[in-house]
Amino acid sequence: MAPTRCPGCPDGMKGPGKYLCLGCWSTLPMAARRLLNRRDSHAMARLQELYRQVTAGVPLAEIHITS
């Protein structure tokens, strides 16, 4: 699979299976990264939470994952 566009920045590319490019990912709060790294039955809900906030213009450093 080829890299795809990162949803968190204008021209970043993210690797297959990654949620964001490395630059965006390292900007997320540690708590959010820890939750997003979990791959369980709530993983998709967390990903949707992340992308919803990114789309709404929430700064990456202020993203909160609750599920």
Given the complex with Zn ion, which of 6 and 36 has the nearer CB atom? 6
Q: Which residues from 4-63 bind Zn ion, rule CB under 5 A?
A: 6, 8-9, 12, 21, 24
Give the integer Cα–Cα distance in Å for 4 and 12: 9
Stretch that binds Zn ion, among 1-9, 37-45, 47-55, 57-65 (CB under 5 A): 1-9
Q: CA separation (Å) from 11 to 5, 20, 50, 63?
A: 7, 11, 18, 20
Given the complex with Zn ion, which of 27 and 49 has the nearer CB atom? 27
Residue 7: alpha-carbon gap to chain centroid: 8
Q: In the complex, which residues of this chain contact Zn ion (CB under 5 A)?
A: 6, 8-9, 12, 21, 24
